[in-house]
Amino acid sequence: MKPRPVIAIDGPAGAGKSTVARMVCQRTGLAMLDTGAMYRGIAWAAHRDKLDVADAGLMTRLANEVDLQFQGIPARLVVDGVDVGDEIRTLEIGQDASRLSEHSGVRQALVAQQQRIIEAGGFVLEGRDVTTVVAPKAELKIFLTASVEERGRRRWEESKARGVTDTLPMVIKDVISRDYRDYTRADSPLMLAEDAVIIESFGLTPEAVVDRIMELLLKRTSV
Ligand code: DC
């Protein structure tokens, strides 16, 4: 394998990107960058400061001012010195992250930070625009997807494990509305990069998805 490849994984909410990215990191020793956590971190800061996520100017300023750091393995997001842990994993923060991610100023601020982080290579990154905007030259680009029902069910299982009481219909409704916004926003919507490999994860274990990614990575980086 090339010493410091970049693997970029895009896909809709609940497709299993985080689980798979984390496992690829464990197998390869590459570092992980969860770009969605950064949008969620800005949404968390907006709640903290009681700011309206629909306000493009305010959100752009926030995205430029807030200090976002990842610490530890697995990485935890630290926002202005506060370890936000699972507080950024609620449906409300997810929706607000999706809303503020529509503002071009926010995207520019976060994409610039993400590109600085991965500059020297050696990362697995996941998000909605990492194959198209953040790392268009990544050695391997994956578009990971599954049906809305399957993705909703997975997100629901995860939230149950964290003790959250959202119902399955609530979580599916959340996935549908985030899909709509993430696919249709004007600036860098979620889309399939020309040279991305589509992996439909229905019926596949995370291990099987990771095996497929490792096979592809070896092919791409051994030439
Ligand atoms: O991957 P996630 O569920 O943590 O992402 C939360 C929201 O952040 C998602 O609905 C849209 C936005 N996002 C984005 O616009 N671009 C990214 N690269 C990652 C996330």
pLDDT, tens only, 93-117: 999 999 999 999 999 999 999 999 9
Q: Is the distance from the beta carbon of residue 53 to the nearest atom of ligand 1 less than 6 Å?
A: no
pTM score: 0.94
Structure tokens at 161: 């494990």
Give me the sign of the Cα torsion angle 92, 128, 216, 198.
positive
Q: What angle do CA 205, 210, 215 make, to 5 degrees?
A: 130
The string of pLDDT tens digits covering residues 53-73 is 999 999 999 999 999 999 988
Decide if 123 contacts 32 (C-beta within 8 A).
yes
Q: Which residue has the higher pLDDT, 203 or 143?
A: 143
Closest residue by Cα to atom 7, ligand 1, is 98
Grouping H, G, I as helix, E, B as strand and the rest as coil, residue 144 is strand
Q: Is 94 in the pocket of ligand 1 (CB under 6 A)?
A: yes
Contact 175, 152 (CB under 8 A): yes
Full set of structural domains in the chain with CATH: 6-221 (3.40.50.300)
Those residues with Cβ within 8 angstroms of residue 77's Cβ, 6 or more apart along the chain or in another chain: 34, 37, 38, 40, 41, 68, 69, 70, 83, 84, 88
Q: Do 124 and 33 form a contact (C-beta atoms < 8 A)?
A: yes
Ligand 1 centroid distance, CA of 107 (Å): 10
With a 6 Å cutoff on the Cβ, whether 127 touches ligand 1 is yes
pLDDT at 115: 98
State which ligand 1 atom lies nearest to the alpha carbon of 129. Answer: 18
Q: Is 131 in the pocket of ligand 1 (CB under 6 A)?
A: no
